[in-house]
């Protein structure tokens, strides 16, 4: 058995979220750790998985704080590089009068986009069953080719590759470039999670379930997980098994990181089952999906991303309610 159950590659950045107005009348922003693959590593770690993170931040106060934060969550940071040449990527969240969010990214030559393949500590993947990545690192810089090479290297080492496109169109030069690179990643992935918008974007098919079916016909996935926000998810497994489930019944206040939490819950539970998906019974697959829905759902009941992730006890308590 290797040191880790899950190695997650991706962006680790600061999300500055608005928290009100100072005494001088100026907006105040809170410094939050952010980045989907980091959220996912923290979610899985909190639910019992042994996780490591691969990525790059600046050797600046923000980057050093992010490293310390991941360590405080129990995620291994041996594979996190601190760069003297590039600064930590920042994102500012803006809320309009109706509460709708938009992001401004400060990512020109951002450290996360500058991870070279020769900087990766691939030994962390020895004996590791799952490797995770998303398309955010593929949007620019050295990290694009590093991501593709890492997916191949992880597979060569025997890990199953879990890919979430996590499409952020404003990070890409054009939608066509985003689509081209995500479609390049899909043949290198074993488990894939897509949102409704992503399934439609990738296939051009307006119905998300039909879009998922089109992806399944085109690629050889072990699982395709289509998440449907407040409507739960529809998951496609080996042998033509489809599991469709409503979302957990919760009072959602902030859906940030719901997808990352869903992924983390799915993987943590799958690891606990201790067998490949193809060997799972229908009841086990249903339990897996219910668990992932509960983790995603609970994350929406609190504000923030990593701070909003549920504990194993909270998930079990929600599931016990039926
Ligand atoms: P993403 O964040 O990747 O766009 P979704 O919005 O589809 O993903 O959400 C992922 C999962 O989180 C859903 O499948 C569901 O389990 C849970 N979830 C999201 N929004 C809600 C909600 N309003 N109520 C309950 N669960 C939710």
Ligand 1 centroid–CA 246 distance in Å is 10
Give the Cα separation of 50 and 52 in Å (integer): 7
Ligand 1 centroid–CA 298 distance in Å is 10
| Burial class of residue 200, CB neighbours in 10 A (0-12, 13-18, 19+) | middle
Question: Which pLDDT value is given to residue 295?
Answer: 98
Question: Which pLDDT value is given to residue 231?
Answer: 97
Query: Which residue of 262, 290, 308 sits with most ligand 1 atoms within 8 Å of its CB, as the best mutation to test the pocket?
Result: 262
Q: How many CB atoms lie within 10 A of CB 211?
A: 22
Q: How many CB atoms lie within 10 A of CB 206?
A: 8
- Write the DSSP symbol of residue 198: H
| Residue linked to tokens 């859906």 | 255
Give the Cα separation of 270 and 289 in Å (integer): 10
Decide whether any atom of ligand 1 lies within 6 Å of the 255 Cβ.
yes
Ligand 1 centroid–CA 194 distance in Å is 11
Query: Residues of the chain whose pLDDT is less than 70?
Result: 99
User: Is 115 in contact with 148 (CB distance < 8 Å)?
Assistant: no
- Sequence-separated (6 or more) residues with CB below 8 Å from residue 203: 211, 214, 215
Question: Which pLDDT value is given to residue 99?
Answer: 67
Ligand 1 centroid–CA 189 distance in Å is 22
Helix (H) or strand (E) holding 317: helix 312-320
**pTM > 0.85: yes or no:** yes
Measured CA distances, 97 to 22, 100, 254, 255 (Å): 18, 8, 16, 18
Give the Cα separation of 127 and 138 in Å (integer): 26
Give the three-state DSSP class for 152: helix
User: Is 73 in contact with 45 (CB distance < 8 Å)?
Assistant: yes
Domain 36-52+118-320 listed as CATH 3.40.1190.20? yes
Specify whether the backbone of 74 is left (phi greater than 0), alpha (psi in -120 to 50) or beta.
Answer: left
Residue 322, CB half-sphere, CA atoms under 13 Å: how many? 0
Ligand 1 centroid–CA 254 distance in Å is 10
Give the Cα separation of 296 and 315 in Å (integer): 10
Question: Which pLDDT value is given to residue 1?
Answer: 84
- Pairing type for strands 223-227 and 51-58 reads unpaired
- Write the DSSP symbol of residue 159: P
Ligand 1 centroid–CA 317 distance in Å is 19
Write the residue with the smallest CA distance to atom 15 of ligand 1.
232
Decide whether any atom of ligand 1 lies within 6 Å of the 297 Cβ.
yes
Write the residue with the smallest CA distance to atom 2 of ligand 1.
259
Decide whether any atom of ligand 1 lies within 6 Å of the 259 Cβ.
yes
């Amino acid at each position: 058995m290797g040191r880790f159950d899950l190695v997650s590659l991706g962006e680790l950045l600061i999300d500055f979220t608005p928290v009100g107005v100072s005494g001088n009348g100026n907006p105040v922003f809170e410094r939050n750790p952010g980045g989907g693959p980091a959220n996912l590593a923290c979610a899985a770690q909190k639910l019992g998985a042994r996780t490591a993170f691969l990525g790059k931040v600046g050797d600046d106060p923000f980057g050093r704080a992010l490293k310390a934060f991941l360590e405080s969550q129990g995620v291994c940071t041996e594979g996190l590089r601190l760069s003297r040449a590039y600064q930590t990527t920042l994102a500012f969240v803006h809320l309009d009068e109706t509460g709708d969010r938009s992001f401004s990214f400060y990512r020109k030559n951002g450290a996360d986009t500058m991870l070279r393949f020769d900087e990766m500590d691939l030994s962390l993947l020895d004996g590791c069953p799952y490797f995770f990545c998303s398309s955010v690192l593929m949007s620019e810089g050295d990290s694009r080719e590093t991501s593709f090479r890492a997916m191949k290297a992880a597979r060569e080492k025997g890990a199953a590759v879990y890919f979430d496109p996590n499409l952020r169109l404003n990070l890409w030069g054009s939608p066509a470039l985003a689509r081209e690179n995500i479609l390049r990643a899909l043949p290198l992935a074993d488990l894939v999670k897509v949102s409704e918008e992503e399934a439609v974007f990738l296939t051009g098919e307006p119905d998300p379930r039909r879009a998922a079916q089109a992806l399944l016909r085109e690629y050889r996935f072990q699982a395709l997980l289509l998440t449907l926000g407040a409507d739960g998810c529809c998951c496609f497994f080996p042998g033509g098994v489809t599991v469709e489930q409503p979302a957990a019944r919760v009072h959602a206040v902030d859906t940030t990181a719901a997808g990352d939490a869903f992924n983390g819950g799915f993987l943590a539970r799958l690891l606990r089952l201790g067998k490949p998906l193809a060997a799972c019974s229908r009841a086990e697959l249903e339990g897996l999906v219910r668990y992932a829905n509960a983790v995603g759902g609970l994350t929406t009941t609190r504000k923030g991303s990593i701070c909003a992730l549920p504990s194993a006890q909270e998930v079990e308590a929600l599931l016990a309610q039926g």
